[in-house]
Each structure stands twice: as C-alpha cells, then as structure tokens.
Amino acid sequence: MKRILLIALAFLGLIPAFAQTKGPVIKAYAYQRQTVPGTSPQKSVDESGTIAQRPLKQFMDYFIYLETKKGQTIKPSKVWINGIPNQLKTEKIGKTPVVFKREGIGEKMIIDTLAPKTTNPMIMIRPDGELTIDPIPSGKTNNAPVKGIRIEYYWKGKKYFYDIKEIKTLEPLVLQ
C-alpha cells in the first residue's frame, strides 16, 4: 500500500514539470489589413508616347497578439510573415479585450474583437520592416511556414519559436 501511495505521489509531482515544458505562450491571434491610398492612379508617358497607368501602392498591416501565462516574461525578437523575416516592435496590452472600431453603414460603428478579455498578460507585436540578412529559422519544425507567421522569442535565456497558421483578414482601410 505504501509503495502504491509513493508511486502516485511521485507521478503527481511530475505533472507540473511536464506542464511547464509547453512554454509560456497560451494562445496567439493574428490579423492582416490592407491599406489602399485614396489617390487616383498615376499615369506616365514613356519615350514612345505610350501612356501607362502605374498601379496604386497597397500596404499590408499586421496585428499580432500573444497571450502568455501569468508570471512568465518573454522577449519577442523577430517575426516571419509568409516566410519573410521582419524586425518587430512590441507593446504590453494593459486592458483586454482588444477591439478595432471601423465605420459601418450610416453612423454605426462596427467593432472587431482582435483579442478576447483575459486576466493573462497580453503582448502586441507589430512588424517593423523586412530583414534581408536572416535565413528562415529551423525552430520546432525543419521549415518556417510559407503561409502564416512564426515568432522568435526568448524565454528563460533560450530561443523558442511559435507558429501561427491562420491569419485572419480584416476589412481593408481605404484612405481618402
């Protein structure tokens, strides 16, 4: 009887150790929003007199949120978007839920919830320019996702990767 009790206590003591090895990130949320300038397309005339219309530059903004376990501090260092490495800026989110308001029909506002209400710490990550010198990291899998997002972060002095397979698309922002 004592032996069974001892084995059961030893097993229960190992459960927290295994639970901690999963890492500090609980969940991640990723969104993309296209921004279209409100100016009309530019026309140019080449030497032969042919009129060519230059397409409008369109920009893609990304909003990435990481929910972490309480008491755990991570330091994101790079973000790969569809296989392309980017520098990043981070910001701690003090209050959740994180919502994005946009104009609807008439005077009504449409509210998109980007990150749900939680008592856990939340970090916002914004890409801040492409990096041209870094190769794609090998991380947990042997290849960075061609589609999706991979976040490189440091936790307890070690480098880790977190993959987000789905990037949700928000309504485009058309500037005037």
Enter the DSSP assignment of 142: S
For residue 119, tell me if it sits in a domain: yes
Query: Does residue 17 sit within a domain?
Result: no
Query: What gap in Å lies between CA 97 and CA 32, rounded to an integer?
Result: 18
Predicted confidence band at 106 (pLDDT cuts at 50, 70, 90)? Answer: confident
Q: Using CA atoms, how far apart are residues 4 and 6, in angstroms rounded to an integer?
A: 5
- Read off the pLDDT band of 15 (50, 70, 90): very low
List the structure tokens of 46: 């080449």
- pLDDT tens digit sequence for 24-40: 999 999 999 998 776 66
Residue 161: inside a domain, yes or no?
A: yes
What does the pLDDT average to over 118-146? 74
Q: How far apart are CA 106 and CA 90, in angstroms?
A: 35
Which residues form the domain of 114? 24-39+51-174
**pTM greater than the 0.85 cutoff:** no
CA 109/CA 79 separation, integer angstroms: 31
- φ, ψ for residue 11 (rounded to 5)? -65, -45
| Phi, psi angles (nearest 5°) of residue 16 | -60, -35
Whether 46 is in a domain gets the answer no
Q: Does any domain span residue 3?
A: no
- Residue 7 counted as domain residue: no
Taking Cα atoms as reference points, which of 130, 134, 25 lies closest to residue 81? Answer: 130
Residue 154 maps to a domain: yes
Place of tokens 């060519």: 52
pLDDT of residue 105: 78
Q: Do strands 75-81 and 42-45 pair parallel, antiparallel, or not at all (unpaired)?
A: unpaired
- Give me the count of residues in the chain: 176
* Inside any domain, residue 140: yes
In this predicted model, what pLDDT tens digit does every residue of 36-83 receive, in sequence order? 776 666 667 777 777 776 665 668 899 999 999 999 999 999 999 988
Give pLDDT, residue 142: 40
Name the domain count of the chain: 1
> How far is Cα 121 from Cα 107, in angstroms, rounded to an integer?
34
